[in-house]
Chain A
Amino acid sequence: MIVLHEHRRLTESESCRHIYIPFEAPCGGNALTVKFSFQPATLEDRQQSLEIIRRGMEIYEPGIRRNDAELEEFLPLKNMLTLSIDSPDGFIGAAHRHSVNQLHKISAQKSSRGFVPCAVTKGRWIITVSPFHFVTPYVDFDLEVSIE
């Protein structure tokens, strides 16, 4: 049973803020499945990427000039969204990784990497999407939660 389906476009002003998406589990179940995807994964424009890196370096290592070859070590610039899950009893973990297509399963016996095992109980659950500094003007994400 699908209990949540959310599609959003996030703009730069929404990065570095937590987006809390609560949903009700109308009943308990054997497992909770979270499908999460986002795009774009990276900034494709090389020149723009190097310019962003150069601006960053002015903050992180002031007074040091780096050539393009040195800046290229940081390519590609990636978007990153961390997904956390709260059961009705509280925080059960997070998926902090660059993968743009993620599938997480939560159950009392075993949960996917990043989450502790947790019984799927009736009540208010929360998905938190935490977008780190975007490297593209916007990021689209798609989130679907189901209970079986």
Chain B
Amino acid sequence: MNKYYPFELHCHTFHSDGEMSPKTLVNASKKRGYTGIAVTDHNTVSAVDETVALGKECGLKVIRGIEWTTFFGHITALGNNTAVDWREIDMQNIDAIIEKASKAGAVLTVAHPKRHGSPMCKGCYMELPITKYQYISGFEVWSQKTPNREGYNLRAIELYDSLLCKGNRLAAVYGYDWHREKADYSYAYTFIGDKDEPERAIKSGDTFVSAGLGLDVKVDGQSLPFGSELEAGKHVFEITVVNFFEDFCSRYGVIPKGVALKGSSCAERVAALGEKLTVNCSEGYLRIEIFGDMEGASNLTLALASPYYVIDRR
């Protein structure tokens, strides 16, 4: 079984419009059980050094980040993100900007692409006409407090699927967009397949978003990291969920009911958890969703994994 680690990839401090000091953020993150976080203040990295140092003291992985908060869309840039000045970004040059940033080592994620935008949330709706998605690694399919119930996230997932259909490779990530310690709560996480180099895992697509459930996926009897390539042809999928956090399912009333396989590689399939599914995969992508009940609501997406990419070499 591949091991996955819970992260929060979109956090703000009082260095921008958040209310938390770096210390409060680190302590609150430990309390919530995160293995790591990304500090992504709006257009500044002034909180990063302090947060990284505080994280080291208590065993919390802190990813250096920034949220480029432009008039026409937001992008988080993790890792080496100094090659771009947020004020350079505009509707005309966005492809050149993401190419430059990515080549300099930044791991880029489209943030909350379908959230309500200006003037309610400044620049929150993605209008930047990105076409070179090969320079984008992650895509916030989920955002905010109750991500699997929000219409804007359903629209984000539609956009995600349309981008995957075009052959783009994008990791599914959740970004809480965490600003306040207590008023903001969330039951969702981005699970990442590498706790030491999470940026690398995001780049390779080894992630899933989840309402606290862990995932165990076997393809032809083997654990296969998300984002991996599969040969076209028949494959057997076996998908089970695990209760990642003790008492989490009872606290939030999470009841997983089944699994859905989606994507351009095969017709949509629905199965019971643990059932062996034989799927004839053609070239394209294939991704896994867990559905079920939560906090009294039924038929919600409880987990959504980054795709496998099916290659036909025949």
Task: Answer yes or no: are A and B bound together in one complex.
Answer: yes
- Cβ of A53: which chain B residues have Cβ within 8 Å of it? 120
**B45 contacts A116, C-beta separation under 8 Å:** yes
Interface of B is mostly: loop
Bound-complex Cα distance A37 to B252 (A): 44
Flag whether B118 is at the interface (Cβ < 8 A).
yes
**Interface residue stretch chosen among B12-20, B136-144, B163-171:** B12-20
- Cβ of B123: which chain A residues have Cβ within 8 Å of it? 132
Interface string of A47-87 (1 = CB under 8 A from B): 00000110011011100100000000010011010101000
In the complex formed, the residue of A with least CB distance to B42 is A96
**A111 contacts B120, C-beta separation under 8 Å:** no
Flag whether A91 is at the interface (Cβ < 8 A).
yes
Interface string of B1-25 (1 = CB under 8 A from A): 0000000000000111100000000
Within 8 A of A (CB), among B285-314: none
Bound-complex Cα distance A77 to B118 (A): 10
Q: Chain B interface residue count: which class?
A: 20 to 34
**A84 contacts B118, C-beta separation under 8 Å:** no
Bound-complex Cα distance A132 to B127 (A): 14
- Cβ of A78: which chain B residues have Cβ within 8 Å of it? 119
- Cβ of B45: which chain A residues have Cβ within 8 Å of it? 93, 116
**A59 contacts B117, C-beta separation under 8 Å:** yes
The one of A56, A77, A96 that contacts B17, using a Cβ cutoff of 8 Å: A96
Flag whether B220 is at the interface (Cβ < 8 A).
no
Flag whether B133 is at the interface (Cβ < 8 A).
no
Tell whether A56 pairs with B15 under 8 Å between CB atoms, given A128-B87, A130-B87: no
- In whole Å, how far is A68's beta carbon from the nearest beta carbon of chain B? 15
- Cβ of A134: which chain B residues have Cβ within 8 Å of it? 119
**B46 contacts A115, C-beta separation under 8 Å:** yes
- Cβ of A111: which chain B residues have Cβ within 8 Å of it? 46
In the complex formed, the residue of A with least CB distance to B117 is A60
- Cβ of A98: which chain B residues have Cβ within 8 Å of it? 17
In the complex formed, the residue of B with least CB distance to A126 is B87
Within 8 A of A (CB), among B78-128: 85-87, 114-120, 122-123, 125
In the complex formed, the residue of A with least CB distance to B122 is A132
Flag whether B187 is at the interface (Cβ < 8 A).
no
Tell whether A60 pairs with B116 under 8 Å between CB atoms, given A96-B69, A132-B71: yes
**A64 contacts B151, C-beta separation under 8 Å:** yes
**B17 contacts A97, C-beta separation under 8 Å:** yes
**B42 contacts A94, C-beta separation under 8 Å:** yes
Bound-complex Cα distance A77 to B44 (A): 24
**B119 contacts A84, C-beta separation under 8 Å:** no
**A60 contacts B114, C-beta separation under 8 Å:** yes
- Cβ of B125: which chain A residues have Cβ within 8 Å of it? 59-60
- Cβ of B17: which chain A residues have Cβ within 8 Å of it? 96-98
- In whole Å, how far is B150's beta carbon from the nearest beta carbon of chain A? 10
Bound-complex Cα distance A117 to B72 (A): 29
Within 8 A of B (CB), among A90-148: 91, 93-98, 111, 113-116, 128, 130, 132-135
In the complex formed, the residue of A with least CB distance to B43 is A94
**Can you show 22 pairs from A to B with CB atoms below 8 A apart?**
A52-B119, A56-B117, A56-B118, A59-B125, A64-B151, A77-B119, A80-B122, A82-B42, A82-B43, A94-B16, A94-B86, A95-B44, A96-B16, A97-B16, A114-B41, A114-B44, A115-B44, A116-B45, A130-B71, A130-B87, A132-B118, A132-B122
A positions within 8 Å CB-CB of B: 16, 18, 52-53, 56-57, 59-61, 64, 74, 77-78, 80, 82, 84, 91, 93-98, 111, 113-116, 128, 130, 132-135
Q: Which 3 A-B pairs have the closest CB atoms?
A: A96-B42, A133-B118, A16-B71
Q: Known pairs A93-B43, A96-B44, A130-B71. 14 more at Cβ < 8 A?
A: A56-B116, A60-B152, A61-B151, A61-B152, A80-B122, A82-B42, A82-B43, A84-B43, A84-B87, A93-B44, A113-B14, A114-B15, A115-B46, A116-B46
